[in-house]
Structure 1
């Protein structure tokens, strides 16, 4: 039978690269550590580690087992946190996972409000560039709550937060910046080179998809690694950009227009199982205070079907 202690021993040996250093970190004897590792390998049906003269390396079985071992320990830690919260202790740590644009746009004011209400609860924020990576992290047990686009084939609870609007960004002196309706069709920008996103950013997929639906493929003048840099690059005149409207800073030095037809996606908060009281309280605050679709940008006047791409 596999135990959490054995999984902890495996993770420590891999992290330190040595049975001796792992034993010192765990405050156990090396023979006791080796005995538990042999018991774990016996239970799992094969060797997990290859012992080299000056280091260790994972076997194929070890590489397959390690992520599940980490997830099991993380889940056990959360189990203890849930027990403390249920006992009425307003302390501990809440782990939130989000895509980059969410951590830039809707989360900061929510986290500020949460801090005022629950100063004893620490928040750990994990950020991911793509909605698929966010969902994989939640599946692996790396956070209590995920915030991002609606996950696919998700069996746990999902709470809808609202419909996120997207904005087109141009420099202030762009000939198309003076739209009388505050809107602009993507086709007007078909011959432009765009401020695009790096391929691992989910917004790169979104931009490619909506432009393809408009009948063209966006050319990249520059690809940004950081989502937060895109408004700055657009305002500097490197090309038009498509961003969630809620990440456009109040002091933005360019012009933000609504795409026509509008581009929107639904944002959600989701968990693996029914959330404990602390996680549920954060989700409630998120649902009530998150500014998913800001009103300070000009409102688009739809003339056609809306686009609902579900990527991060």
Structure 2
């Protein structure tokens, strides 16, 4: 019979890439760890891991089991946390997932407000570069609440937070007017995003609507780096207004037509009171800010 401990051992071996490191992290002997993984493999009906001389690799059966193992462990942790909350043993923990730009923008005042009201509650923040990864994490049970672009389909509660406004970051001496048609920038070089960053699609769609394809001078995986790279003259960057740092060395222009996307927070079908309270804090801060 498969146990949570066996699933934890499997996930830890995969994450560390080594039986030795996994045993050290789990504070068990390596033979005991190996015995439990072999028991899990017998129960599964085949090998889950390929033992290589210097590494460990998942078999096809192991790749199929891994996401379910992670989901089972996350569900068990949520169950323990919910039980502790119910009897008031401690403040527990809330797991929040977000795309990169959200963390840098609207989540900062939310987390500050939440900590002031609930200092005893731990917040575990998980960040993802793309909406698809965010949805996958929620579907796998890795988080209590997600914040990002509004999902097209989701079974649980979804609360719209407002529209995220995008601006153009350029060097301080850029001659363009404060409001500029995006089509007028077709011949420029661009600070673009790496394909794994969901903002790459936002830029491509906005430029396509203006009739051109942006010519990337540099691509970055880090959302916060885009306006800084643009300020140095490497190219124009389309960025969420909320990630432009205070004291920005460049200029901020507003594209015409405006570029926006709807942001939302969504939870599992039956959120617990702590998750609901965090969602309320998030919505209140978004409203106080005049939108997300």
TM-score normalised by L of structure 2: 0.87
What's 1:268 paired with? Answer: 264
RMSD (Å) for aligned C-alpha atoms: 2.8
Q: Contact 2:17–2:56 at 8 Å: present in 1 too?
A: no
- Alignment of 1:289 with 2:285, yes or no, is yes
Q: Contact 2:129–2:197 at 8 Å: present in 1 too?
A: yes
Q: Contact 2:23–2:30 at 8 Å: present in 1 too?
A: no
Q: Distance in 1 between matches of 2:162 and 2:271?
A: 20
- Alignment of 1:164 with 2:164, yes or no, is yes
Shift of the 44–86 alpha-carbon distance from structure 1 to 2, 3 Å rule, reads same
Q: Contact 1:19–1:33 at 8 Å: present in 2 too?
A: no
Shift of the 246–154 alpha-carbon distance from structure 1 to 2, 3 Å rule, reads same
Number of aligned residues: 290
What's 1:18 paired with? Answer: 19
Q: Give per-residue Cα distances to partners, 1:172-222, cap 9 Å, x unaligned.
A: 321113x4xxx2210110111111112211111110111011110011122
Q: Give per-residue Cα distances to partners, 1:77-121, cap 9 Å, x unaligned.
A: 111111222334551222111111101111111111111111111
Q: Contact 2:19–2:33 at 8 Å: present in 1 too?
A: no
What's 1:151 paired with? Answer: 151
Unmatched 5+ stretches in structure 2: none
Q: Distance in 2 between matches of 1:236 and 1:20?
A: 43
What's 2:208 paired with? Answer: 212
Indicate the larger mover: 200-209 or 19-28.
Answer: 19-28
Return the offset for 1:272.
2.5
Return the offset for 1:163.
1.2
- Which residue, out of 274, 277, 291, partners 1:278? 274
Shift of the 167–26 alpha-carbon distance from structure 1 to 2, 3 Å rule, reads same
What's 1:126 paired with? Answer: 126
What's 1:302 paired with? Answer: none
Q: Secondary structure at the match of 1:199?
A: coil
Q: Give per-residue Cα distances to partners, 1:33-60, cap 9 Å, x unaligned.
A: 62x5455334323232345678754332
Counting only pairs closer than 5 Å after superposition, residues 41-80 of structure 1 correspond to structure 2 as 41-50=41-50, 57-80=57-80
Q: Give per-residue Cα distances to partners, 1:149-191, cap 9 Å, x unaligned.
A: 01232222211111111112222321113x4xxx221011011
Q: Contact 1:195–1:240 at 8 Å: present in 2 too?
A: yes
Q: Distance in 2 between matches of 1:278 and 1:21?
A: 32
Shift of the 9–191 alpha-carbon distance from structure 1 to 2, 3 Å rule, reads closer
Q: Secondary structure at the match of 2:195?
A: coil
Indicate the larger mover: 22-31 or 149-158.
Answer: 22-31
Q: Contact 1:196–1:223 at 8 Å: present in 2 too?
A: yes
Return the offset for 1:18.
3.3
Shift of the 104–19 alpha-carbon distance from structure 1 to 2, 3 Å rule, reads closer
Shift of the 231–58 alpha-carbon distance from structure 1 to 2, 3 Å rule, reads closer
Q: Distance in 2 between matches of 1:119 and 1:160?
A: 26
Q: Contact 1:166–1:262 at 8 Å: present in 2 too?
A: yes
What's 1:94 paired with? Answer: 94
TM-score normalised by L of structure 1: 0.82
Q: Secondary structure at the match of 1:290?
A: helix
Q: Contact 1:246–1:292 at 8 Å: present in 2 too?
A: no
